[in-house]
Structures are given as C-alpha cells and as structure tokens.
Amino acid sequence: MNEVKAFIDNSGEAVIKCPRCHATRVVDVKEYSRLDHIVRFKVTCPCKHVYRVILERREFFRKPVRLTGVCRMREGVPAVDIHIHNLSRKGLRIELMKDDPPAIGDKVTVEFRLDDEKKTLIRKEALVRTLMGRFVGLEFFSIDPYNVYDKALGFYLM
C-alpha cells in the first residue's frame, strides 16, 4: 500500500495528498500531535484510492518563525547575520545576510534569541544539509533533552 508523509502544522492540522489523483485534504490531527511515536492511519480518497499516511513526529515539527541571529562558519572568520525562517527540534532553516554560503556537510554554530518573554539565547552546532542560494537547511549536530538549549527549544516548540 502507498504511504505518504504528512506534517503537523501550527494549528494541529496536516495536509495530506492522494498519491493517485493528487487531491489534497486537511485533516485534524491534534489528538496525535502530542504523541511521541510515529502515527500511521489509512485514508480513503474520494477517488476510491486507499493509502496510508505517516504523521511526522512532534519533535520534527517545524515552526515558522521570524528570528534573527548569527552563524559562525569557520574559526577566525566573522559570524554572518542570519534570518531564521523555521525551527524544529531537529534543525532550522536560515537565510544568510551575506553571499558567503557554507558547503553541504560543513559544521557551523548558530546563535540566536527566541521571541519568548525571556528572549532565551540558543547556541547550537549544526550540519549544513541543504543549500539554495542564501537559504541554508541546518540539522542540529546533537540533540540532548538535558541540554539547556534543547530544553528551551522544546519548550518553545510545544
């Protein structure tokens, strides 16, 4: 049976797309979004096609944000200003304010403040996963639930 991935958005809904007729529909997945394990369910499309949906786990949920910070790419080179467009427990998508992109696989350090009440500082090492012009997809190098920054991120993304 076909399996399609769906992502939980901010409002607890997921958009699913029929792999046969490509019709999309919005499903309410709030009751699943708090779960930590992978959720699969079956959908019957109006075109009669039956397919299975996998919901992305909560920790991978990407929150659209408008934050600013800096990215340190190499030792001894000044940090580059960045805009952060989305954020998850696993990583973030940034836009560089300077035309000096890193390479895929590079390890960088990002530093930024959340827009919560305390303007919490986050500092994480991350690997460059995707590159599109000035847009860079970063995956955190490590995720440790006891790390102060990971805790703050988890709380922010709840």
Q: Is 38 in the site for Zn ion (CB under 5 A)?
A: no
Residue 49 or 83: the one with the smaller Cβ distance to Zn ion is 49
Q: Is 6 in the site for Zn ion (CB under 5 A)?
A: no
Report the nearest approach of Zn ion to the CB of residue 8 (Å): 21
Spell out the residues 6+ positions from residue 10 whose beta carbon is closer than 8 angstroms to its own.
63, 64
Q: Is 21 in the site for Zn ion (CB under 5 A)?
A: yes
Report the nearest approach of Zn ion to the CB of residue 48 (Å): 7
Q: Is 53 in the site for Zn ion (CB under 5 A)?
A: no
Spell out the residues 6+ positions from residue 105 whose beta carbon is closer than 8 angstroms to its own.
127, 128
Q: Rg for the chain (alpha carbons), in Å?
A: 18
d(CA 109, CA 36): 28
The site that binds Zn ion (CB under 5 A) totals a number of residues, namely 7
d(CA 130, CA 139): 9
Report the nearest approach of Zn ion to the CB of residue 2 (Å): 10
Q: Residue from 7, 9, 13, 45 that binds Zn ion (CB under 5 A)?
A: 45
Q: Is 47 in the site for Zn ion (CB under 5 A)?
A: yes
C-beta separation of 121 from 57 below 8 A: no
- Between strands 3-6 and 50-55, the pairing is parallel
Instruction: Give, in order, the Cα–Cα distances in Å from 109 to each of 33, 129, 138.
Output: 30, 14, 10
Report the nearest approach of Zn ion to the CB of residue 29 (Å): 19
Q: Residue from 8, 16, 18, 80 that binds Zn ion (CB under 5 A)?
A: 18
Q: Residue from 12, 17, 49, 85 that binds Zn ion (CB under 5 A)?
A: 49
Please give the residue ranges that form the binding site for Zn ion (CB under 5 A): 18, 20-21, 23, 45, 47, 49
